[in-house]
Amino acid sequence: MSECTHNCSTCNKEGCGERKSLIINPNKTAKIGKIIAVMSGKGGVGKSFVTSMLAVTANKNGFKTAVMDADITGPSIPKSFGFTASDRAVGSEDGLIPVETKSGIKVMSINLLLEEETRPVVWRGPVISAVVQQFYTDVMWKENDIMFIDMPPGTGDVPLTVYQSLPIDGIIVVTTPQDLVGMVVEKSINMANMLNVPVLGLVENMSYYKCPDCGKEEYIFGKSNVEELANKFNIPLLAKLPINPDVARLVDSGRVEEVDCAPFEKALNVIKEFKKQ
């Protein structure tokens, strides 16, 4: 018996026939343009930071923007945007109302529903996947040009659920210079290819540290091979982000909307111009 590739268009198994679409519908109030997932096979690479900055960049360029935090067990989006204990999502007859940032970005995260932000979410995979789907079906997103989804690390239940049940237009993959990370990131790209989800590009975080005094660049995690990785899969390199303590302080203090957006303009242009086949 041949192994399933999850690509029904190549399936010739007798009796298989056409598969019903697994795509679910958003909340009845929602009108969403493009949906972009940000993922990495490895944790700790700055995926939530990249998601936040892509949303901030899109918002500053005049796009109505939303962020779905699908990292249920490790949500960090609310803290990046400075949400406090009083910023909690509330419900109505039509669904959950997302919380808006100071600049008007709509956000939904499990930490906007918990009484205490440090309370752990100790759920099994199917429950977590169901909650992510509910963030799409039960949240009153209203009209948005672009929704960014902050994915959990890895290639498990949640990424599979998102790819199969949400109409993802494309993904942006985040990596760092270490060879170990690069190997795991390839798994994410290969998963996307298996499921026919377009990979729009790579963002390398923590590429180097630039001395503020002399301007010399130090490669703390070793020299990058991200160009080779991008060439291998024929996908664009969208940004190489330095280690910047000032940026880290802004994000930690909930002021991600004040971070310079210039390094993310190329990624936004790719998202704007991309048309799903």
pLDDT band at 43 (very low <50, low <70, confident <90, very high): confident
Q: Is the pLDDT of residue 165 over 90?
A: yes
Q: Is residue 3's pLDDT more than 80? A: no
Q: How far apart are CA 140 and CA 116, in angstroms?
A: 23
Mean per-residue pLDDT, 13-29: 75
- What mean pLDDT comes out for the span 43-72? 96
Residue with the larger pLDDT of the pair 183 and 253: 253
φ/ψ of residue 211, rounded to 5: -65, 125
pLDDT of residue 152: 92
Residue 9 reports pLDDT greater than 60: no
Residue 184 banded pLDDT, cuts 50, 70, 90: confident
**Distance, CA of 205 to CA of 50 (rounded, Å):** 8
Question: Do 52 and 77 meet the contact criterion of CB atoms below 8 Å apart?
Answer: yes
What residues does each domain of the chain span? Answer: 22-273
Mean pLDDT of 200-216: 92
Q: Averaged over 146-161, what is the pLDDT?
A: 93
pLDDT band at 1 (very low <50, low <70, confident <90, very high): very low
Comparing 7-11, 21-25, 87-91, 146-150, the range with the smallest average pLDDT is 7-11
**pTM here?**
0.90
- Across residues 197-204, what is the average pLDDT? 96
- How many CB atoms within 10 Å of residue 141? 23
Instruction: Give the whole-angstrom CA distance, residue 56 versus residue 264.
Output: 9
Banded pLDDT at 198 (limits 50, 70, 90):
very high
Query: Across the chain, what does the average pLDDT equal?
Result: 91
Stretch 216-225: mean pLDDT: 88
| Residue 153: partners with Cβ closer than 8 Å, 6 or more residues away | 39, 40, 41, 42, 43, 44, 45, 47, 71
Query: In whole angstroms, how far apart are CA 188 and each of 40, 76, 176, 241?
Result: 6, 21, 14, 20
CATH of 22-273, one of 3.40.50.970, 3.30.70.3000, 3.40.50.300, 3.40.50.10310: 3.40.50.300
| pLDDT the model gives residue 15 | 53
Residues 6 or more apart whose CB falls under 8 angstroms from that of 202 comprise 172, 173, 174, 175, 185, 226, 229, 230, 235, 236, 237, 238
Average pLDDT over residues 122-149: 96
Confidence band for 74, pLDDT divided at 50, 70 and 90: very high
Helix (H, G, I), strand (E, B) or coil at 275: coil
Residues 101-134: tens digit of each pLDDT: 999 999 999 999 998 888 899 999 999 999 999 9
